Chain A
């Protein structure tokens, strides 16, 4: 066994003793508040946003794996500006041959390359992708001028669309669906060779209005595959025509259930709306398996209506098992539903709907009550992707139906994550194309709370601060600040998911405490539900509602690449002597990390001139006696990681008792690299520990205890255990 002594001074590690303005306000980084977005982080008195209503008729071709449709868009200009053109998103054009997604890729082959690597990276896919527009006309049927700019399209209006006016136009289009196996698409189809059926998860399937807002004007940043979507709210009426033996689910409420469902399925569907304690099977596995053999040439049209949603997606297959459970949220009743092929069982029947219910309840508690009538979880291989009221989720047992804990927890985690996206960004509708942390990060934070509160010993891989320290520490050349666009960030998973989730846990657990954080976070959610928040609206609301200046926190965690590592360098015990005794002028405590050294300090009478104009004076004996009842210590800290942070201190006293205190981050405001404190305790100290519960994200535990402890490293513990 190899026990070693952890101990070294940290001073030499700090090259930068310069002031970097870590406590300066971030006003110069944020947009100036105005009538649209207020200084307190709320929507301003003149806040506006656009609206787009859609009437869509879409047809799924199960023979050729393609989609065709028409859409009538009614665009409401609620902005104060006249608009001479409109921008739409044609996301399917990332699949056009030679799209920028591929042209902008950096790529090298190594010694060998897999078939998938080639197909995925060099677009050797079997689908001839990209959207084909066959009609773009106004309400009278007159052709409109339009220009396709890669994944975007500009429609030129013959007359400006004035504030308060609306514009109705119609498009007709078709495109070939992609095989998701080949390119891990957010949408497309999965083919099952055994029974020769397809399962379709259809999204980004219609030209969608880009966001026009007070902040960017049009958000028409090109889609390169990573930065997701920015979309306008509106109401949808959608008719989906599929083979008559298909089962469909979609964003919104099914309006013609009686017509498209068999009477038996319809009656189970009705019953499920009263099933609050467990899911009710509407289409059990046996019926789904029987349906796989059907090959109907007829079609059926499923009709959906959705209000105040930013998007619409649907799923369709012969293979779907369907279960549903009712959930009470506030004064609303919501249907939690799961759709999955038999390949998902038995995992899906055991965990999917349960995870949907847990997510709706927990997220509603922390943000806003889930406002929509349904929440669907649809099983699709090897993906997790979210749309309003519907998401496509991975998690599949081995062919014999067995599954490991790793598969189970990954599946539950994805269902929670994607259903959770209903709240961020589908309801609190941030701009995903620009800021991935605002949806992925905030969502990963609530995903963590949902797992913690509903599952025992969930094996987390992100959420708590201690899980990001290995990524944050070290040299910074391979990391980017969180405030980096998702298309050019180097480690999207760390930057957009784990680090922001960790930062919010630090904010909640250490900086604000649960009560202040939860109030501020709920305020942000309520203020920006069904609106388009920007980072400043989040930063300002969290400060405004909590009453705590957090500019240093945003600056450190969101704009910098610093990490948290505080060292407790020395503790000196002060022996307070009365007048007439000789004091120590110097104690070389730095020579030892092994003990708390004592320094004699003389308490002297305050000279008269210090009292200036005051006529009364301090009583020497009274002060001396008060001090004598306490034990005085000087604690010296170094900020090794550079990120300013509160210091959570656990005091261990000689009598074995403990107490703890959190020193606010402002302790670093005069010097960003070192801090000294004099603290008085009732009892003599044995040792002091920083961040005992690993809540601050401190990267180096070896400098967290003073006097330094003989402690085995993680490595030596493993060695000892294996011997």
Chain B
């Protein structure tokens, strides 16, 4: 079968994978974190359609409206904390690669110490959704998972 989950009275199709991947890279020299979040484009389209009530929202139509919906989605579902303070990220952009949509956000002035990412992508409606988070610093990658059981994952920046 195709694994998927339907939400509430409206039908929201979600993908076979039930997973997304978020890559964080800490740049010690510039004290910045580069975030690349990958989701399935058709899942995101259906999510935004349902949330916005715009049944014609098309993730592949490049225009201001699409951009602002997509940007708002990621800003709402991704929050980075440096220690316990949330950090404002700078939206860089998004691109499509097949059925994958990649969103790019940059966080500046991040000092070494504890960081926490709250990643709630699709968690409000999906049972079994897992958002994998990789942090790469100094050539080493650590991995955590955000899910409905735990929406946050923390790492120590060196």
Chain A positions near chain B (C-beta within 8 angstroms)? 8, 10, 12-13, 106, 108, 110, 112, 114-117, 120-121, 180-181, 184, 186, 228, 381-386, 394, 396, 398-400, 402, 404-407, 409-410, 414, 417-418, 458-462, 467, 470-471, 473-478, 490-494, 497-498, 713-715, 718-719, 721-722
Residues of A within 8 A of B38 (CB): 470
Set B46, B92, B143: member contacting A477, Cβ < 8 A:
B143
Question: Which B residues from 79 to 100 make CB contacts under 8 A with A?
Answer: 92-93, 95-96, 98-100
C-alpha gap A719/B139 in the complex (Å): 22
C-alpha gap A248/B154 in the complex (Å): 54
* Residue in A closest to B29 when the chains form the complex, CB atoms: A4
Q: Does B145 contact A (CB under 8 A)?
A: yes
Q: When the two chains form their complex, are residues B132 and A398 in contact, meaning their CB atoms are under 8 A apart?
A: no
Q: When the two chains form their complex, are residues A386 and B1 in contact, meaning their CB atoms are under 8 A apart?
A: yes
Q: Does B78 contact A (CB under 8 A)?
A: no
Q: How far is the CB of B50 from chain A (nearest CB, A)?
A: 11
C-alpha gap A471/B100 in the complex (Å): 13
Set A116, A399, A406, A474: member contacting B134, Cβ < 8 A:
A474
Q: Does B116 contact A (CB under 8 A)?
A: no
Set B8, B21, B95, B124: member contacting A112, Cβ < 8 A:
B124
Query: Are A497 and B17 CB-contacts (below 8 A) given A13-B139, A475-B142, A492-B3?
Result: yes
Q: How far is the CB of B90 from chain A (nearest CB, A)?
A: 10
Q: Does B111 contact A (CB under 8 A)?
A: no
Q: Does B114 contact A (CB under 8 A)?
A: no
C-alpha gap A475/B2 in the complex (Å): 27
Convert B104-128 into 0s and 1s, putting 1 for each residue whose CB lies closer than 8 angstroms to a CB of A. 1010000000000000000111010
Residues of A within 8 A of B40 (CB): 461
Q: Does B77 contact A (CB under 8 A)?
A: no
Q: When the two chains form their complex, are residues A382 and B4 in contact, meaning their CB atoms are under 8 A apart?
A: yes
Residues of B within 8 A of A478 (CB): 130, 132, 143-145
Set B6, B61, B130: member contacting A491, Cβ < 8 A:
B130
Query: Are A474 and B45 CB-contacts (below 8 A) given A414-B2, A461-B98?
Result: no
Q: When the two chains form their complex, are residues A116 and B7 in contact, meaning their CB atoms are under 8 A apart?
A: yes
Q: Does B15 contact A (CB under 8 A)?
A: yes
Question: Given A402-B56, A461-B15, 18 more contacts at CB 8 Å?
Answer: A181-B11, A186-B1, A381-B6, A386-B1, A394-B13, A404-B61, A406-B42, A410-B42, A418-B2, A460-B99, A461-B41, A470-B21, A474-B132, A478-B145, A491-B19, A493-B15, A494-B17, A718-B95
C-alpha gap A476/B142 in the complex (Å): 9
Q: When the two chains form their complex, are residues B148 and A110 in contact, meaning their CB atoms are under 8 A apart?
A: yes
Q: Does B140 contact A (CB under 8 A)?
A: yes
Can you spell out 25 A-B residue pairs with CB atoms less than 8 angstroms apart?
Answer: A110-B148, A114-B125, A121-B127, A382-B12, A383-B2, A383-B4, A396-B11, A398-B55, A404-B45, A404-B56, A404-B59, A404-B60, A407-B42, A418-B1, A458-B98, A460-B99, A470-B38, A471-B19, A475-B143, A477-B143, A478-B144, A494-B19, A718-B104, A721-B93, A722-B93
C-alpha gap A382/B9 in the complex (Å): 12
C-alpha gap A184/B125 in the complex (Å): 13
Q: When the two chains form their complex, are residues B5 and A184 in contact, meaning their CB atoms are under 8 A apart?
A: yes
C-alpha gap A493/B40 in the complex (Å): 13
Q: When the two chains form their complex, are residues B92 and A719 in contact, meaning their CB atoms are under 8 A apart?
A: yes
C-alpha gap A459/B100 in the complex (Å): 8
Q: How far is the CB of A576 from chain B (nearest CB, A)?
A: 35
How many chain-B residues does the 8 Å CB contact rule pick out? 62
Q: When the two chains form their complex, are residues A475 and B104 in contact, meaning their CB atoms are under 8 A apart?
A: no
Set B3, B99, B124: member contacting A409, Cβ < 8 A:
B99
Set A396, A404, A459, A477: member contacting B99, Cβ < 8 A:
A459
Residues of A within 8 A of B3 (CB): 492-493, 497
Residues of B within 8 A of A381 (CB): 6, 11
Interface centre among A398, A458, A475 (most CB of B within 10 A): A475
C-alpha gap A471/B15 in the complex (Å): 15
Q: Does B149 contact A (CB under 8 A)?
A: yes
Set A106, A494, A718: member contacting B92, Cβ < 8 A:
A718
Residues of A within 8 A of B57 (CB): 404
Query: Are A715 and B34 CB-contacts (below 8 A) given A406-B59, A474-B134, A722-B93?
Result: yes
Q: How far is the CB of A266 from chain B (nearest CB, A)?
A: 33
Q: When the two chains form their complex, are residues B7 and A114 in contact, meaning their CB atoms are under 8 A apart?
A: yes
Residues of B within 8 A of A418 (CB): 1-2
Q: When the two chains form their complex, are residues A493 and B140 in contact, meaning their CB atoms are under 8 A apart?
A: no
Query: Are A410 and B149 CB-contacts (below 8 A) given A115-B8, A461-B100, A491-B19?
Result: no
C-alpha gap A161/B12 in the complex (Å): 49
Convert B9-26 into 0s and 1s, putting 1 for each residue whose CB lies closer than 8 angstroms to a CB of A. 101110111110101010
Q: How far is the CB of A366 from chain B (nearest CB, A)?
A: 21
Residues of B within 8 A of A407 (CB): 42, 45
C-alpha gap A115/B144 in the complex (Å): 29
Q: When the two chains form their complex, are residues A474 and B4 in contact, meaning their CB atoms are under 8 A apart?
A: no
Residues of B within 8 A of A186 (CB): 1
* Residue in B closest to A395 when the chains form the complex, CB atoms: B13
Q: When the two chains form their complex, are residues B100 and A467 in contact, meaning their CB atoms are under 8 A apart?
A: yes
Residues of B within 8 A of A462 (CB): 16-17
C-alpha gap A181/B5 in the complex (Å): 10
Interface centre among A228, A418, A459, A460 (most CB of B within 10 A): A459
Residues of A within 8 A of B61 (CB): 404
Query: Are A384 and B19 CB-contacts (below 8 A) given A117-B125, A404-B59, A474-B132?
Result: no
Q: Does B141 contact A (CB under 8 A)?
A: yes
Q: When the two chains form their complex, are residues B16 and A12 in contact, meaning their CB atoms are under 8 A apart?
A: no
Q: When the two chains form their complex, are residues B1 and A384 in contact, meaning their CB atoms are under 8 A apart?
A: yes
Shortest 4 CB-CB contacts between residues of A and residues of B:
A384-B2, A493-B17, A474-B143, A461-B99
Residues of B within 8 A of A108 (CB): 148-149
Q: When the two chains form their complex, are residues A116 and B18 in contact, meaning their CB atoms are under 8 A apart?
A: no
Q: When the two chains form their complex, are residues B9 and A181 in contact, meaning their CB atoms are under 8 A apart?
A: yes
C-alpha gap A476/B141 in the complex (Å): 11
Q: When the two chains form their complex, are residues B16 and A497 in contact, meaning their CB atoms are under 8 A apart?
A: yes
Query: Are A459 and B142 CB-contacts (below 8 A) given A184-B5, A715-B92?
Result: no
Q: Does B58 contact A (CB under 8 A)?
A: yes
Residues of B within 8 A of A714 (CB): 36, 102
Query: Are A384 and B4 CB-contacts (below 8 A) given A112-B124, A719-B92?
Result: yes
Q: When the two chains form their complex, are residues A405 and B58 in contact, meaning their CB atoms are under 8 A apart?
A: yes
Q: When the two chains form their complex, are residues A383 and B1 in contact, meaning their CB atoms are under 8 A apart?
A: yes
Query: Are A114 and B124 CB-contacts (below 8 A) given A406-B58, A470-B23?
Result: yes
C-alpha gap A396/B1 in the complex (Å): 18
Q: When the two chains form their complex, are residues B93 and A718 in contact, meaning their CB atoms are under 8 A apart?
A: yes
Q: How far is the CB of B47 from chain A (nearest CB, A)?
A: 11
* Residue in A closest to B2 when the chains form the complex, CB atoms: A384
Q: How far is the CB of B106 from chain A (nearest CB, A)?
A: 8
C-alpha gap A398/B125 in the complex (Å): 21
C-alpha gap A112/B19 in the complex (Å): 21
Q: Does B28 contact A (CB under 8 A)?
A: no
Residues of B within 8 A of A410 (CB): 13, 42
Q: When the two chains form their complex, are residues B23 and A398 in contact, meaning their CB atoms are under 8 A apart?
A: no
C-alpha gap A348/B40 in the complex (Å): 23
C-alpha gap A718/B34 in the complex (Å): 11
* Residue in B closest to A470 when the chains form the complex, CB atoms: B21
C-alpha gap A394/B132 in the complex (Å): 27
* Residue in B closest to A108 when the chains form the complex, CB atoms: B149
Residues of A within 8 A of B1 (CB): 186, 228, 383-386, 418
Q: When the two chains form their complex, are residues B98 and A184 in contact, meaning their CB atoms are under 8 A apart?
A: no
Residues of B within 8 A of A400 (CB): 55-56
Set B8, B21, B92, B144: member contacting A722, Cβ < 8 A:
B92
Residues of B within 8 A of A491 (CB): 17-19, 130
* Residue in B closest to A716 when the chains form the complex, CB atoms: B34
Residues of A within 8 A of B13 (CB): 382, 394, 410
C-alpha gap A476/B145 in the complex (Å): 11
Q: How far is the CB of A408 from chain B (nearest CB, A)?
A: 10
Q: When the two chains form their complex, are residues A474 and B56 in contact, meaning their CB atoms are under 8 A apart?
A: no
Q: When the two chains form their complex, are residues B9 and A719 in contact, meaning their CB atoms are under 8 A apart?
A: no
Interface centre among B6, B18, B41 (most CB of A within 10 A): B6
